[in-house]
């Protein structure tokens, strides 16, 4: 059988490495997903081993090449989670586990950085307040792990680390650089004042490239370990969210919603937008911008909750059964899904998850449905903020690992009050990275890229459900407002209990590092 030309796309998410082959006909040919662990503690720490990124990358590509029909790989394209930061030493080995974007450490440091420049940080970087960004974590390392801080030769994000392993090149792209709180989105360059404030040298941050550039070629050492030919061009690609916006095929007057480990609403805009709760950073396409806001955990909340209840990790069939067995409103159970904090608001920066309305008559299924509804309420709040920049919103296009749940898509249409569109290809981050490579290879034009992922399913609002969810949304907002005075007390109590247990809330980032 003659090998067909293909692009190998590598997507390093928060929970797994996905390797996909796409052909010149712009369709997916084969995919393999290999999960990797993350270490999460009760005090908000969330880490990952960069060695797991490499291990699962090798496993995913090896399986892909062994199981897929023969393919001649013309290019490798990359995408990854954003904001996660790993300090790397002179020997190019991690000095500590990677601090995930989920990690709550660095919150105070990020707030102090914002305060020190009196609002100019937001103007320079386009980022809403939050602990996710790399700068706060680097400042935390400076304060709590000075030995790691002093030895850091590079600060890398996951895609940067994988790029070096594949090609020996140190580089990043502007969509990842823009999620560090150190990058000037107007000049597309590192901001000197912010680097100085963090005591980070320009030489410690990777050179910044366009997401559409090929940066290096597959090294002989990496090729041997992956079973590929050396010299294949590596396209640097972009962060998962802007790649998803491209790959989803989202149209004007549509908002993209991506749900997997976390959930996010995004859209493409033609100019930089400064809005209190929304972030605006460069797109993977030149001269375009991504307006967005996410929530810290969605699929992760469901995974945690079902595990706590003694069930297996929720799959589409399980969630379908729950949504069919429990009526809208979860019999009065309300949840605030901020188990890893709340994004986009400094007022509730210390928020944690809360479950209310429970009685002895409630069953586990009520909690699972309440978790899904809480995610819907939070995403509706984000949608309301975005409406002033995309008016009128005619549909929400859903992608990501949870976009295949038909019952939840129907429910979300009732939450949002507009149709929900599911495109043909739901793995939009990998598809967006592929489309950048396909254009570089001459397989597709920029105009054609926007039309190659058409809507496959449409879900419309249900008027009876909308009535329930309007009341639920009002109760949700009141619940959240009432917790604002409670969260600081809970945080003080948590810190006391952690000290009493001898754990310390600012644990050592280098613990358990191989």
The residue extents of the domains of the chain are 4-241
Q: How high is the pLDDT of residue 415?
A: 93
Whether the predicted pLDDT of 311 surpasses 70: no
Query: What mean pLDDT comes out for the span 29-53?
Result: 90
- 3-state class of 149 per DSSP? helix
Higher pLDDT among residues 313 and 35, named by residue: 35
Q: How high is the pLDDT of residue 412?
A: 93
Least confident stretch, 183-187, 309-313, 429-433, 496-500: 309-313
What predicted TM-score, i.e. pTM, was given to this entire model? 0.89
- Written as one string, the DSSP assignment of 225-274 is HHT--TT-EEEEEEEHHHHHHHHHTPPTTEEEEEESSSEEEEEEESS---
- At residue 440 the predicted structure's pLDDT band, cuts being 50, 70 and 90, is very high
CB hemisphere CA count around 153 (13 angstroms): 10
pLDDT tens per residue across span 359-391: 999 998 899 899 999 999 999 999 998 988 888
Q: How distant is the alpha carbon of residue 497 from its chain centre? A: 31
Mean pLDDT computed over every residue of the chain? 90
In terms of C-beta density within 10 A (0-12 exposed, 13-18 middle, 19 or more buried), how is residue 196 classed? Answer: exposed
CATH top class, domain 4-241: alpha beta
């Amino acid at each position: 059988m003659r090998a067909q030309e293909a692009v190998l796309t590598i997507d390093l998410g928060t929970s797994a490495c996905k390797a996909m082959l796409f052909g010149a006909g712009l369709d997916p040919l084969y995919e393999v997903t290999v999960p990797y662990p993350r270490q999460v503690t009760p005090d908000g720490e969330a880490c990952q081993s960069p060695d797991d990124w490499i291990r699962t990358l090798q496993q995913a590509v090896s399986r892909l090449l062994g199981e897929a029909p023969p393919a001649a790989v013309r290019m490798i394209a990359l995408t990854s989670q954003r904001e996660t930061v790993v300090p790397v030493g002179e020997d190019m080995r991690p000095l500590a586990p990677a601090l995930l974007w989920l990690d709550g450490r660095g919150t105070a440091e990020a707030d102090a950085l914002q305060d020190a420049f009196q609002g100019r940080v937001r103007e320079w970087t386009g980022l809403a307040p939050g602990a996710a960004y790399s700068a706060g974590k680097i400042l935390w390392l400076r304060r709590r792990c000075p030995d790691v801080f002093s030895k850091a030769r590079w600060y890398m994000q996951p895609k940067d680390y994988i790029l070096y392993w594949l090609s020996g090149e140190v580089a990043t792209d502007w969509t990842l650089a823009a999620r560090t709180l150190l990058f000037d989105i107007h000049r597309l360059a590192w901001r000197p004042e912010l680097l100085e404030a963090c005591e980070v040298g320009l030489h410690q941050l990777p050179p910044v490239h366009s997401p559409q550039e090929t940066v290096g070629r597959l090294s002989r050492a990496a090729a041997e370990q992956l079973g590929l030919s050396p010299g294949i061009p590596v396209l640097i690609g972009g962060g998962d969210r802007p790649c998803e916006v491209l790959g989803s095929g989202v149209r004007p007057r549509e908002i993209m919603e991506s749900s997997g480990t976390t959930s996010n609403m995004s859209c493409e805009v033609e100019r930089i937008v400064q809005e209190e709760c929304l972030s605006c950073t460069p797109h993977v396409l030149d001269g375009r911008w991504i307006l967005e806001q996410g929530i810290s955990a969605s699929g992760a909340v469901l995974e945690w909750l079902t595990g706590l209840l003694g069930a297996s990790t929720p799959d589409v069939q399980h969630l379908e059964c729950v949504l069919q067995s429990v009526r809208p409103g979860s019999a009065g159970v309300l949840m605030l899904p901020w188990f890893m904090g709340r994004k986009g608001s400094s007022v509730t920066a210390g928020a944690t998850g809360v479950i209310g309305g429970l009685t002895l008559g409630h069953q586990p299924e009520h909690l699972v449905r309440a978790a899904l509804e809480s995610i819907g309420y939070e995403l509706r709040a984000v949608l309301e903020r975005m409406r002033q920049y995309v008016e009128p919103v005619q549909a929400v296009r859903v992608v990501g690992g949870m976009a295949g749940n038909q019952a939840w898509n129907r429910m979300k249409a009732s939450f949002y009050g507009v149709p929900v569109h599911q495109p043909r290809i739901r793995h939009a981050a990998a598809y967006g990275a592929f489309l950048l490579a396909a254009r570089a290879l001459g397989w597709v034009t920029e105009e054609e890229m926007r039309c190659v992922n058409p809507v496959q399913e449409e879900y419309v609002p249900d008027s009876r459900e909308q009535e329930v969810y309007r009341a639920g949304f009002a109760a949700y907002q009141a619940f959240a407002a009432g917790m604002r005075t409670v969260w600081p007390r809970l945080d003080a109590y948590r810190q006391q209990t952690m000290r009493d247990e001898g754990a310390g809330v600012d644990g050592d980032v280098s613990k358990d590092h191989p």
